[in-house]
Structure 1
Amino acid sequence: MSIRFDGKVAIVTGAGAGLGRAHALAFAARGAQVVVNDFGGARDGTGGSSEAALAVVEEIRAAGGIAIADGANVADYEQVQAMVRRAVAEFGRVDILVNNAGILRDKSFAKLEMSDIKAVLDVHLMGAINCSKAVWELMREQGYGRIVMTTSSSGMYGNFGQANYGAAKMAVIGLMNALTTEGRKSNIKVNTIAPVAATRMTADILPEEMLQRIQPERVTPAVLFLASDDAPSKTVIAAGGGAFAAATVVETAPVLLPDEDVTPEGVAARFADIADWRTARPYDESGHQVQAFLKLVCGQ
């Protein structure tokens, strides 16, 4: 099976460097027309320049591909809408969106300023919402769409000094879950990548020999798979250095306590049973989890 994107139009945010650049180049190499979006700011989100996006466009064109640059700030919905209108004017449609843009403002929670929290949430979470919202009706009308979110182990598992980043990165998984359900009847599939890669976001926390093993290009194959015609939906793939894993939220089987034990002490006494991960399972959607409780509690 060969995965191609001929005739497809892909928007990749934060595509001026690192993971986004690798994704954009790979989509173009497999036939997609690509909107290379990059605000061009520093790692903390300050500043702005179109040079990085233009350089990636030149790389794509030099290799025989088709691309345009766009400098929209994903945290600004009006700019994002203008980017999507421009993509449609240039290419006629939008089939794929990769929400990759991100910034870091790492500090312990005690030292985080509210402005640091808002800035990170605005780019990672609101950026993903803004871009997804801007293409949603187009994809519904087309009866086709592929959206790839970008999460992080910091969100799924926690990391010191990244309360703002981790909160945003876990939130995009919730966004994926909801959009998967809403997009199903319109053939819109929504997935998430959890990358481990050498980028400017990780350059100062890992030794050089490790960085050489986890280049962004070794994450990108999972992104292209998640954006393909035959992609799954509501899937999180962790990827780094050519290794890949699937992740999901699971929940143990509910344990019904006798009425007299529905107390804090009763929960404590049965906590080993409640937290028996051998019974864990994922749910397709929230209603199925609610049904599991109602079936046990109400017998229906």
Structure 2
Amino acid sequence: MADIRFDGKVAIVTGSGGGLGRQHALELARRGARVVVNDLGGSVDGSGGGSDAANAVVEEIKAFGGEAIANGSSVTDDAGVALMVKHAMDAWGRIDVLVANAGVLRDKTFSKMEIADFEFVLNVHLMGTVKPAKAVWEIMKTQNYGRIVCTTSSSGLYGNFGQSNYGAAKLGIIGFMNTLKLEGQKNNIHVNAVSPVAATRMTENLGMPQEIFDRLKPEYVTPGVVFLCSEEAPTGCIMTAGAGAFALARIVETEGAYLGEGGLSVEEVRDNWGKITDPAGQQAYQAGGEQTGKFFRKLQGG
């Protein structure tokens, strides 16, 4: 089979001044994409900022003959996001790929967390995915082509101590993706998510042994992300990736049990909990209406 290439295509990668985003930008450029390297240049908690990181990645790309421009906009700033898209359109006239990778951490247990820290992390991760996606959506619809890759996390899919803000944002991204995959289908816009496990600035304080940390290189996640950016990409998938391993995460629902309507009680739910939670026949629905359809089927069957 032919190599996956991006010749003639334009990609925006947010948060690509280092870590995962840098690797995604570099690989897309190596495969022919013209890349907007977006990075605010702040610290892990979102403070500070500067253009040095984005400029350095642009120079790396240019050094191997690729095309790239730097952008220092915050993904939470409407005017900044509009400017990022304008830079891409002014330079190359189209946008084919958006990798929404920018993120921050402000970890604390929920009892100690200030609402401001909850809102800030939610804004960067969730709205920092929504705003760039909104800014490129009509462009992709007009082109009848687009690929969007959102960045989720196991903290959102499964939970993680001290990350209620981060986890809420990351699972919110999945809800966002699940609707965009439906709305984008007729215009060949595919929307997927990656849940990465990688050694970056955001994970260096986890206390894992160095030999494990060394095997979680960001570049071991990037091949999966770049595949999700390609013409051959699926849509509506949650790909998990780390240390060269790749898997698919799904939200599944059991078949459940119909308990009837007459005399329905709390005790009946308790007494039938085993049937309600029985994994036999569970499904991963492609749209919310499929769940509604199941309940109507059970109502008719009952």
TM-score by length of 2: 0.98
Distance 1:186 1:273 in 2: 41
Q: Which runs of 5+ in 1 are unaligned?
A: none
Q: Which runs of 5+ in 2 are unaligned?
A: none
Distance 1:247 1:288 in 2: 19
Matched, 1:215 2:226: no
Alpha-carbon distance, 1:263 to partner: 1.1
Match of 1:237 among 239, 242, 265: 239
Alpha-carbon distance, 1:211 to partner: 1.1
- Over 3 Å counting, the alpha-carbon distance change for 1:83 and 1:252 in structure 2 is same
- 1:261–1:267 contact (8 Å) kept in structure 2: no
Matched, 1:200 2:201: yes
- Residue in structure 1 matched with residue 132 of structure 2 by the alignment: 131
1:202-259 C-alpha deviation (Å, 9 max, x unpaired): 0111221111101000000000111110110000110001001100100000311133
- What CA RMSD, in Å, does the superposition of the two structures yield over aligned residues? 1.1
- Residue in structure 2 matched with residue 270 of structure 1 by the alignment: 272
- 2:255–2:280 contact (8 Å) kept in structure 1: no
Higher alpha-carbon deviation: 260-269 or 106-115: 260-269
Distance 2:105 2:83 in 1: 26
- 1:132–1:147 contact (8 Å) kept in structure 2: yes
1:109-161 C-alpha deviation (Å, 9 max, x unpaired): 00100110111011100000000000000000000000000000000000000
1:140-194 C-alpha deviation (Å, 9 max, x unpaired): 0000000000000000000000000000000101110000000000000000000
1:71-99 C-alpha deviation (Å, 9 max, x unpaired): 01001122101110110000110000000
Match of 1:253 among 248, 252, 255: 255
Distance 2:158 2:86 in 1: 37
Distance 1:185 1:174 in 2: 19
Distance 1:12 1:246 in 2: 22
Q: Matched residue pairs, number? A: 300
1:15-51 C-alpha deviation (Å, 9 max, x unpaired): 0000000000000000000000000010000011100
- Within-5 A mapping of 1:50-129: 50-129=51-130
- Residue in structure 1 matched with residue 294 of structure 2 by the alignment: 292
Which secondary structure state, in structure 2, belongs to the residue aligned with residue 102 of structure 1? coil
Amino acid at match of 1:169: K
- Residue in structure 1 matched with residue 22 of structure 2 by the alignment: 21
Distance 2:90 2:150 in 1: 25
- Within-5 A mapping of 1:19-58: 19-58=20-59
Which secondary structure state, in structure 2, belongs to the residue aligned with residue 90 of structure 1? helix
Alpha-carbon distance, 1:261 to partner: 5.1
Amino acid at match of 1:157: Y
- Residue in structure 2 matched with residue 182 of structure 1 by the alignment: 183
- 2:256–2:278 contact (8 Å) kept in structure 1: no
Amino acid at match of 1:48: G
Once superposed, which parts of structure 1, at least 4 consecutive aligned residues long, lie more than 2 Å away?
258-261
Identity, in percent, stands at: 55
